């Protein structure tokens, strides 16, 4: 396996492993691809704004899917496109608003993988805020075939995000009810590192998610069901992972295969004589069947709250069987 990234790896890292609270990155990705196809090296802020606006006009005309998950809100881009379509603002005004309001976050933050701001910083473009964007050879060097593939991936990703946001929106009230139940019984975050020796005993020295070995100074305790939903640090929900896997997974939903793996891990603890097994019995039940059911119920609750916002984009995604992901982790670990 090659241990360094090429430009298309970096691009995929941004598109597939970005943190996406809205679809802005996808809009910018398609805008950039368009300029690469025109072999533009320097793009004025106005050109960029107009092209970005066009992406959203086209996108919202075809599906009119939500561009973020909260039904009580609209993204800046949805508001601008709506105002334009209602005739409340002219096209020039719309472009100005895009340049003033929409780019504050996305243009500076696009070149990020997960939360890592260093690895792809300035890799594809530089900016003079409010004036120009300069495309680099790393971007201009993609050939037509590569561009077609990258664009296809961005479009697919955009659709996935919209689908997840749409489910979030229809389940919004139910999701709030579930959040409140967990909040009621929740407690503030405890010190987790004291669980490491115990958990290592049931997991070995490999990351729960990607299966790569964990260096001794990079073992993190991760909540499989995100803490921001379940609001507790119960041992049955804790696993060990790389710091970067922890960050990349973030508050996303894992696929059911990881829930099966977690259930099996917990049953290993139950089969041992470790005193902490009583904690699991108290939290989830005294029989394996009951424990499995209860854990699955928590998983379904979390799914309702987070929508189909799966890590890696799909329920079946498994970083351990994704060579690109394993390479990403190796590169991130080596760059620390
Ligand atoms: Zn890992």
Residues with CB under 5 A from ligand 1 (ion): 207, 209-210, 242, 245
Q: How remote is the CA of residue 112 from the centroid of ligand 1, in Å?
A: 18
The answer to whether residues 46 and 66 belong to one domain is yes
At residue 94, the pLDDT reads 97
Which among 195, 183, 208, 206 has a CA at the least distance from the CA of 260? Answer: 208
The answer to whether residues 140 and 183 belong to one domain is no
Number of domains making up the chain: 2
DSSP state of 99: I
The answer to whether residues 70 and 194 belong to one domain is no
- Per residue, what are the HEC states of 253-287? ECCHHHHHHHHHHHHHHHCCCCCCHHHHHHHHCCC
The answer to whether residues 115 and 260 belong to one domain is no
pLDDT tens-digit readout, 238-263: 999 999 899 888 888 999 999 999 99
pTM of this structure: 0.79
At residue 336, the pLDDT reads 61
Name the band, by pLDDT with cuts 50, 70 and 90, for residue 53: very high
Q: How remote is the CA of residue 68 from the centroid of ligand 1, in Å?
A: 28
Residue 1 lies in a domain: no
3-class DSSP state of 134 = strand
Name the band, by pLDDT with cuts 50, 70 and 90, for residue 3: low
Its domain, for residue 304, covers 172-334
The answer to whether residues 257 and 186 belong to one domain is yes
Q: How remote is the CA of residue 15 from the centroid of ligand 1, in Å?
A: 19
The answer to whether residues 197 and 121 belong to one domain is no
CB atoms closer than 10 angstroms to residue 145: 8
Q: How remote is the CA of residue 310 from the centroid of ligand 1, in Å?
A: 17
The answer to whether residues 308 and 273 belong to one domain is yes
The answer to whether residues 148 and 176 belong to one domain is no
The two tokens of residue 279 are: 């904690």
CB atoms closer than 10 angstroms to residue 28: 24
3-class DSSP state of 238 = strand
Work out the mean pLDDT of the chain and round it to a whole number. 91
- Among 163, 190, 223, the domain boundary falls at 163
CB–CB of 32/126 below 8 Å? no
Q: How remote is the CA of residue 197 from the centroid of ligand 1, in Å?
A: 17
Predicted confidence (pLDDT) at residue 317 exceeds the cutoff of 50: yes
Q: How remote is the CA of residue 329 from the centroid of ligand 1, in Å?
A: 7
Dist CA 237 CA 325 (whole Å): 23
The answer to whether residues 158 and 176 belong to one domain is no
Q: How remote is the CA of residue 209 from the centroid of ligand 1, in Å?
A: 5
Dist CA 312 CA 193 (whole Å): 27
Residue 2 lies in a domain: no
- Among 121, 137, 163, the domain boundary falls at 163
């Amino acid at each position: 396996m090659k241990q360094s990234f090429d430009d298309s790896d970096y691009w995929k890292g941004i598109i597939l492993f970005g943190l996406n609270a809205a679809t802005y990155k996808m809009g910018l990705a398609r805008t950039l691809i368009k300029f690469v196809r025109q072999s533009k090296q320097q793009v004025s802020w106005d050109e960029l704004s107009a092209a970005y606006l066009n992406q959203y006009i086209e996108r919202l005309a075809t599906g009119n899917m939500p561009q973020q998950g909260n039904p009580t809100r609209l993204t800046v881009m949805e508001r601008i496109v709506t105002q334009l379509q209602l005739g409340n603002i002219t096209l020039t005004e719309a472009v100005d608003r895009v340049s003033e309001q929409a780019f504050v976050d996305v243009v500076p933050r696009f070149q990020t993988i997960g939360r890592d701001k260093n690895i792809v910083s300035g890799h594809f473009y530089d900016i003079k805020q409010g004036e120009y964007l300069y495309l680099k050879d790393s971007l201009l060097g993609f050939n037509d075939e590569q561009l077609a593939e990258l664009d296809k991936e961005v479009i697919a990703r955009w659709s996935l995000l919209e689908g997840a946001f749409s489910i979030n929106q229809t389940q919004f009230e139910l999701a709030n009810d579930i959040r409140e139940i967990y909040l009621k019984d929740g407690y503030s975050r405890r010190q987790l590192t004291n669980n490491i020796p115990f958990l290592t005993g049931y997991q070995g020295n490999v990351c729960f998610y990607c299966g790569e070995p964990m260096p001794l100074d990079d073992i993190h305790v991760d909540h499989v069901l995100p803490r921001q939903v379940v609001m507790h640090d119960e041992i049955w929900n804790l696993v060990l992972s790389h710091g970067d896997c922890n960050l990349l997974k973030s508050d996303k939903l894992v696929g059911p295969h990881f829930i099966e793996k977690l259930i099996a891990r917990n049953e290993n603890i139950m089969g041992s004589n470790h005193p902490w097994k009583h904690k699991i019995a108290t939290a989830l039940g005294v029989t394996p069947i009951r424990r499995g059911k209860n854990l699955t119920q928590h998983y379904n609750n979390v799914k309702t709250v987070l929508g189909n916002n799966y890590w890696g984009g799909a329920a079946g995604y498994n970083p351990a069987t994704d060579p690109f992901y394993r390479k990403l982790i190796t590169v991130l670990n080596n760059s620390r």
